[in-house]
Structure 1
Amino acid sequence: MIISTERLFLREWRDEDRAPFATMSADPEVMAFLRALPTRQACDQWIDAQIAHHAAHGFGFWVVEGRRSGAFLGTVGLFRVGFDAPFTPAVEIGWRLAREAWGQGVATEAARAALDFGFNTLGLDEIIAYAAPANQASQNVMRKLGMARDAASDFDHPRVAADSPLRRQVMYRLSDAMP
């Protein structure tokens, strides 16, 4: 399955995506607000989890590829939240883009396509997103997508060390009933 936008393809993973994903995930600026994937094996395990999620649920994080260039630009998608929290069960949207794709609207364009798929193909009622408070770039994308900040649902991520600046997460929500 391929989701097309004006400039992008969102597609399932291929073996040749593993190396550029690992390269992207080794960039400290890309990973500044994300949980580390410190080895190629950790990157491959992350991709394998996406493939398994796709097989189980019909969605996950897709590869973002430039339509004209065919370049690997990153990953954007939907994922069932895999930990217990007051807001679960829930489906989250997220993105991780190669630095070369920053500042071009790629995250917003790809995320809009993923939201459309979530609401119109999967029939989801709500999609959430969360980020570290300092991750203003991701929060800007969330606002561009029409997501609403839900400060009452901010939380400490249970899979992040208690002393990490990434532990606290701010919550955004989007309902299919929102304009």
Structure 2
Amino acid sequence: MNPYLFTSHRLGFRTWQPFDLDDFTAINADQEVMRFFQKPLSREETQAMMDRMQRMFEERGFCYFAVNLLETKELIGTIGLGWKTFEADFTPCVDIGWRISKKWWNKGLTTEGAIACLEFAKQKGIREVLSMASIGNTASIQVMKKIGMSHWKDFDHSELQNFPDIQRCSLYRISL
């Protein structure tokens, strides 16, 4: 049985499974991967995130998916769609985001996966997708540009008030 909801050339996108916990915990615990987030996540916090993603998928039909490299079935991280409701003049909104293991950086996988997720969003009838990243996160901003998103504005993220180094974010959007 095919475990994937959809695939790209090199990647398979699926819902989260209990066997993902160890690998995803390792990714979420990596200081460099988590540089533009509030903090690295513990095993318990990673499990809670996976649970939230499962609920989001059940409720909305999308989430930040578990992503495997098709060739090896290795979990490389997460790429997908989220539902953002934090306080801002552009929420609620559908967001595209990613977090992948350092091992897979600079190989075009995030861009490839994000393009596949935009196509999935289009098939789901989603008309606009936003993406946000701390203004210092040039790698993620570069992916946003590569997948055809346009800079909309910069803003102070309401959930990052206690994290001034990452609070100022760039917001990108694309119409589907």
Report the TM-score when normalising by structure 1. 0.93
- Equivalent residue, structure 2, for 1:24: 27
- Equivalent residue, structure 2, for 1:71: 74
Return 5+ residue gaps in structure 1 as ranges: none
- Cα deviation 1:63-84 (Å, max 9, x = unaligned): 1101011111000010111212
- Equivalent residue, structure 1, for 2:139: 137
- Cα deviation 1:1-59 (Å, max 9, x = unaligned): 52111111011111010111100011111001123243211111111110110011110
Three-state SS of the structure 1 residue aligned to 2:62 is: coil
Give me the whole-angstrom Cα distance separating, in 1, the residues matched to 2:23 and 2:164. 27
2:49 corresponds to 1:46: yes
Number of residue-to-residue matches in the alignment? 173
Three-state SS of the structure 2 residue aligned to 1:46 is: helix
Contact 1:37 1:43 in 2 (8 A): no
Give me the whole-angstrom Cα distance separating, in 2, the residues matched to 1:111 and 1:60. 13
- Equivalent residue, structure 1, for 2:155: 155
- Cα deviation 1:90-139 (Å, max 9, x = unaligned): 100000000011010110011111000111x2111110001001100000
Give me the whole-angstrom Cα distance separating, in 2, the residues matched to 1:48 and 1:82. 18
Alignment of 1:163-174 (within 5 A): 163-174=163-174
Give me the whole-angstrom Cα distance separating, in 1, the residues matched to 2:41 and 2:99. 15
The 4+ residue runs of structure 1 with deviation greater than 4 A are: none
| Distance change (3 Å), C-alpha of 1:86 and 1:40 | same
Q: Out of 92, 96, 99, which is 2:95 matched to?
A: 92
- Equivalent residue, structure 2, for 1:11: 14
% same residue: 34
Alignment of 1:117-136 (within 5 A): 117-119=120-122, 121-136=123-138
Give me the whole-angstrom Cα distance separating, in 2, the residues matched to 1:38 and 1:111. 23
Three-state SS of the structure 1 residue aligned to 2:139 is: helix
Report the TM-score when normalising by structure 2. 0.94
Q: Out of 102, 107, 115, which is 1:104 matched to?
A: 107
Q: CA RMSD in A?
A: 1.1
